[in-house]
Structure 1
Amino acid sequence: MASSRLHFLLSKPPPAAVLPSCFFSSLFPSAFHASLRRHRFARSFSAARRLFCSKSDPPLQSDSRVGEAAPSIVGDLLDYLNESWTQFHATGESSNSSILLAIICSYVLIPLISFSIAFFPLAEAKRQLIAAGFRLLNENDEWDLQPGGRYFFTRNMSCLVAFAVGEDYKVGSGFHVIAAHTDSPCLKLKPRSASSKSGYLMVNVQTYGSGLWHTWFDRDLSVAGRVILKHNSGSFIHKLVKVRKPLLRVPTLAIHLDRTVNTEGFKPNLETQLVPLLSTKVDEAETKSEDKTKASSSKNIHHPLLLQVLSEELACDASEIMGMELNVCDTQPSCLGGGNNEFIFSGRLDNLASSYCALRSLIDSCQSPIDLADEQAIRMIALFDNEEVGSNSLQGAGAPTMFQAMRRIVDCLSQERMTEDSFERTLRSSFLVSADMAHGLHPNFPDKYEEHHRPQLQKGVVIKHNANQRYATSGLTAFLFTEVANLHDLPVQIRETVVLAIFCNNLQIGYFVFVITGILDIYVWLWWERTRMALWNSDHSLALVVGKSMLGVGIRTVDCGIPQLSMHSVREICGKEDVDIAYKLFTAFFRSFSDIDKKLIVDF
């Protein structure tokens, strides 16, 4: 009942008579009322509703090639990016006033903050999977799996593997997998974060991944992450924490003190100049009042003021905080933008957009009992952490998490029918979609792209190729994945990376200099190595980790992604049409790949 009323309120702005001016005075406290006046809620409700989008928005007006009408998931993606489910999805059966309050909080006053840390998206993924009927497994326990069952497990609460077993599963049937990562470049608090400079309390941070770090200057920042608390019983618990208000800021140097910044470029020292301000130094009286807190707070390695803010969010005493794993994050919420609201402006699109499309496609492809009735394969998603720093961690794609899960699943389902080659046949029948964002054509820098391979926003998912196997895509896997798209009238694009051609040119130059000038070749080769690594890492793909590891054990793989601009900036941009196309394509992959795969026989 509440959801229907909510749909009505969102889809049709309330008439003036329904919301008299005295209504807001009686409904909200004075501080809230002042905030509403600043936002001019009564006159801009419909505009704000269009800006922030929601589940109740009508389906996108897309090209006829996209196929049958389906609900847009863009609003859900914005919720996922903003983590606004905490308020919005918890309204339940309540009064009209409560529902309206939820609408105001979610769509006008500012949704909850986007947090650049993998714990929060995984927590929401866990919530959605349980709500959809998936059963949580523990890696330390024995598994009891059945055909038709839906399951998932997490590792470190930043890596997740979920799967649905076909009702018609047979030993040797393959896995149909979509893999993505949930981490993004960000700033992480150092283990000893407290420092002071020139009368300011500063927070020491370190860079995570290959971010565009100049975009973090002059942003309203906060912190989010995981905290270890000491329980009354003497045990320890971990809790997620996020500070909703702007807490930190990294100010740039004024132009009057850096006249060459626009001609020579902004080149900050990431160790000494990318340090956020927390506050001005507290006075002596405040310091004395906090002595007790200081003495018991994580061995005095973090500012007592920061610990106080965290303890208020956690509703605990600062002395109970035993450890923390915090990221710095931007507080600006994700939203729609552009002249026709056709863009998504957000942080962490790389790669939460892909991971969310994978999550929703798995849930929606098996939400009905009949969806798995004739399925022989196992549908799976794998969401990994630490891709931006090489994936070599317990929760990263470099660990054998997915491979071990596959073997364990086959063992559980095969029982006495298991033979020595059962798992090998399963791998040979499997197919992996490695989903990571792609570089869309930048209108201001067209010369940075290969002339005949320039993916555009709003034109569909990009299939990535490279002749030197830097991507896992082959002609065969690209064909099969394209067939899925063609079957459902979904557009796809092709991208060919030509970075290795630049390597070859540098190699020839290096060799020429070696022959002609002798000793100068040392410097040229050093330059070539630095250039090679910089170029190689600038388009780092999940396929280099997940795809390559699966290829090594015989799993066919295609590398694809949603095109975007401003990759690795604190604020990125992609087309909302592409998000819906990716969701439809991934859902179609789960539902129809088994039939398509049977039609092409290569090795016999």
Structure 2
Amino acid sequence: MPLSFKTEIHAAPAEAKDFLTFVNQAQSPFHATEQAALRLRKAGFEEIKEKDSWDNLRRNGKYYFTRNKSSIVAFAVGGKYKPGNGFAAIGAHTDSPCLKVKPVSKREKTGYLQVGVQLYGGGLWHTWFDRDLSVAGRVLVQTADGKLENRLVRIDRPILRVPTLAIHLDRSPNTDGFKFNHETHLQPMLATITKSLNGAAPPKNDAEASTETTMDKHHPILLHLLAAEMNVTAEEIMDFELCLFDTQQAAIGGAFNEFIFSARLDNLMMSYCSIEALTKSLKDPSSLAKDPNIRVVALFDNEEVGSLTAHGADSNLLPGTFERLSRATYDGEPNNNLTAYLESLPKSYLISADMAHAVHPNYFEKHDEGHRPQMHKGVVIKINANQRYATTAVTTVVLREAAKKYKVPLQDFVVRNDSPCGSTIGPMLSGKLGLRTVDVGNPQLSMHSIREVCGTEDVRHAIKLFEAFYEDFASIDARLTVD
């Protein structure tokens, strides 16, 4: 007699659903930074500027600032903070591998208008074929009064596509694998020339002919689409930085609603969890009031290309922030501690939060037998003997102690000895600052694909772990006898 089976429809955790709201509005580092800022402002954080003086900070105060509109740093000052005390910090990044529009993108081939793109980061580029693509990023606009304004733009409908070649014209993908040239085969089509004739730019007069404009570099139809989204004219667009993205939104999936199918999980998942943990750790005002440290989140751009930029983790962004906070005045009190910054670093701790590799059911042999992270089984601690990750035994113990507060499960990961290992912002910041650092992340599949997969329960796991870290780091650190 066959067994009866009734599939119970499980509701996805609230944190997973809220992440969808975040990631579906964060198609570029600029948009991710904007979404983080919106959540911080809602939680009572005050925006400050790097170019201004920080001599009027307050204990129990909550602040944030952005750099390049693509990186953001937020911090909450403990009620018992004194210059020279430590920082409890979490670092993640806002960028993901993608295609970016070239500075001169206008292309025409055999009746099609194409947009020239360049590769950003180490993407699984074959996954970008046959997807419904659009663009998002920032645009520099010249206003009627001559000002140059930075504006965000996103076109929410599919306007671009990279089509594959029909199997009838090339049998090799089924025999030799799908091979393509990154320059010639990965350029998306925007329109047919036949349909675009009415959108062509008017001919230049003699005075304009010698001056190269944005219209000369990009198809007018693309500029008009951008202008319509921002309610400006195409002529007012001076320049832009645009990322291509898949217009299919992130979704909950799986038989039991246990998966998140989404672009940019690496690393907007950790960016989201970091911001959420910081704001949630402040819900009880007494928690911050008793804290002798400063709680920090830093979301950097350009991790996927090495971080050595003005707004990447290998810049002065975090060191400069720590130094300014150590030298600032609080509540009007004079700060006469000349070595406060150097004193603060050994007292501080950084969680480098970047997604981790879940064991793959079809390629399980790629994981070390004792280190096969699974979805829903907790945040992954990443360890590497060659220091591709910054984790040590001491930093692991601190994290495990924090995890006890909310009973957050943890998993361990090392790569096989015959496998290459990626890296994170952890080692560079640890080395730059002499900072105790641990590398962690939620397990996911299809990393660097246009469509990635992770577990719904793990969103809550990471938020609760980071929240406990902010709340309990000072007391855990006081128990450590390791200098």
Name the TM tier (shorter chain): over 0.9
Equivalent position to 2:423, from 540, 543, 567: 540
After TM superposition, give the deviation of residue 290 of structure 1 in Å: 4.2
The separation in 2 between residues aligned to 1:358 and 1:452, in whole angstroms, is: 28
Which residue of the partner structure matches residue 143 of structure 2? 231
Matches of residues 195-210 of structure 1 in structure 2 within 5 Å? 195-210=107-122
Q: Where do residues 245-284 of structure 1 align in structure 2 (5 Å cutoff)?
A: 245-282=157-194
Letter of the structure 2 residue corresponding to residue 314 of structure 1: M
Give, in whole Å, the separation in 2 of the partners of 1:469 and 1:122: 29
Query: Which residue is 1:170 aligned to?
Result: 82
Tell me how far apart the structure 1 counterparts of residues 80 and 418 of structure 2 sit (CA, whole Å): 49
2:44 to 110, 133, 141: 133
Please, which runs of 5 or more residues in structure 1 have no aligned partner? 1-49, 52-56, 61-71, 84-113, 504-534
Distance 1:371 1:292 in 2: 65
The correspondence for 1:300, drawn from 194, 211, 216, is 216
Change (3 A) 1:215 1:419: same
C-alpha contact (below 8 Å) 2:199/2:221 kept by paired residues: no
1:360 aligns with 2:285: no
Cα drift, residue 214 of structure 1: 0.2
Which letter maps to 1:74?
A: A
**Aligned partners of 1:178 and 1:432 also within 8 Å:** yes
Partner of 2:35: 124
What is the CA-CA distance between 1:264 and the residue it aligns to? Answer: 1.0
- Across the aligned residues of Structure 1 and Structure 2, the Cα RMSD in angstroms comes to 2.0
State the shift of 1:486 in Å.
2.2
Tell me the secondary structure at the aligned position of residue 184 of structure 2: coil
Per the normalisation by structure 1, the TM-score is: 0.75
5+ residue gaps, structure 2, are 1-8
Within the alignment, does 1:440 sit opposite 2:358 as a pair?
Answer: yes
Shift of 1:468: 2.0
Q: In the alignment, which residue of structure 2 is the partner of 1:423?
A: 341
Counterpart residue type for residue 174 of structure 2: N
Taking the TM superposition and a 5 Å limit, the aligned residue runs for 1:481-500 are 481-498=399-416
Alignment of 1:82-121 (within 5 A): 82-83=24-25, 115=27, 117-121=28-32
TM-score with structure 2 setting the length: 0.93
2:129 pairs, out of 214, 217, 231, with 217
SS of the residue 2:57 aligns to: coil
Aligned length: 468
Distance 1:444 1:461 in 2: 22
Larger helix proportion of the pair:
1
Q: How far is 1:337 from its partner?
A: 0.2
| Compared CA separation, residues 158 and 196, structure 1 to 2 (3 A) | same
Q: What is the match of residue 186 of structure 1?
A: 98
**Distance apart, 1:597 and its partner CA:** 1.2
Report the 3-state secondary structure (helix = DSSP H, G, I; strand = E; otherwise coil) of the residue aligned with 1:178.
strand
One-letter identity of the residue aligned with 1:462: V
Instruction: Tell me the equivalent position of 1:565.
Output: 445
In the alignment, the residues of structure 2 paired with residue 159 and residue 288 of structure 1 have an alpha-carbon distance, to the nearest angstrom, of 37
Structure with the higher fraction of residues in strand conformation = 2
CA offsets 1:485-517 (integer angstroms, 9 cap, x no match)? 12321100001123xx338xxxxxxxxxxxxxx
The question of whether the paired residues in 2 share the 8 Å contact of 1:362 and 1:587 is answered with yes
Confirm or deny that 1:327 pairs with 2:243: yes
Q: Which residue of 1 aligns with 2:473?
A: 593
Deviation at 1:289, TM superposition (A): 6.8
- Partner amino acid for 2:399? F
Please report how far the alpha carbon of residue 419 of structure 1 lies from its aligned counterpart in structure 2 after TM superposition.
2.8
2:22 pairs with one of 80, 85, 96: 80
Is contact 2:381-2:438 (8 Å) kept?
A: yes
> Aligned partners of 2:452 and 2:171: how far apart in 1?
28
Q: How far did residue 170 of structure 1 move?
A: 2.3
Distance 2:136 2:200 in 1: 28
Say which is worse superposed, 256-265 or 567-576, in terms of deviation: 256-265
Name the CA distance, whole Å, in 1 between partners of 2:196 and 2:75: 57
1:193 is aligned with what amino acid? S
Q: CA deviation at 1:284?
A: 8.8
Q: Distance in 1 between matches of 2:386 and 2:148?
A: 49
Structure 1: 4+ residue segments shifted above 6 A: 292-296
Deviations along 1:437-473, one digit per CA (max 9) or x if unpaired, are 0000000001111111111111110001112222100
Mapped partners of 1:471, 1:166: distance in 2: 29
Higher RCO by CA contacts (8 Å cutoff, separation 6 or greater): 2
Quick one: distance in 1 between partners of 2:239 and 2:359? 43
Does the CA contact (< 8 Å) of 1:297 and 1:304 recur in 2? no
Alpha-carbon spacing, 1:201–1:289, altered in 2? closer, same or farther (3 Å): closer
- The one-letter amino acid paired with 2:166 is A
Deviations 1:367-413 (A, max 9, x none): 33222121101100000000000001111001011111111011114
Cα displacement (A) at 1:152: 0.8
AA aligned to 1:127 is L
- Post-superposition CA distance 1:169-201 (Å, at most 9, x none): 123210000000010000000000000111100
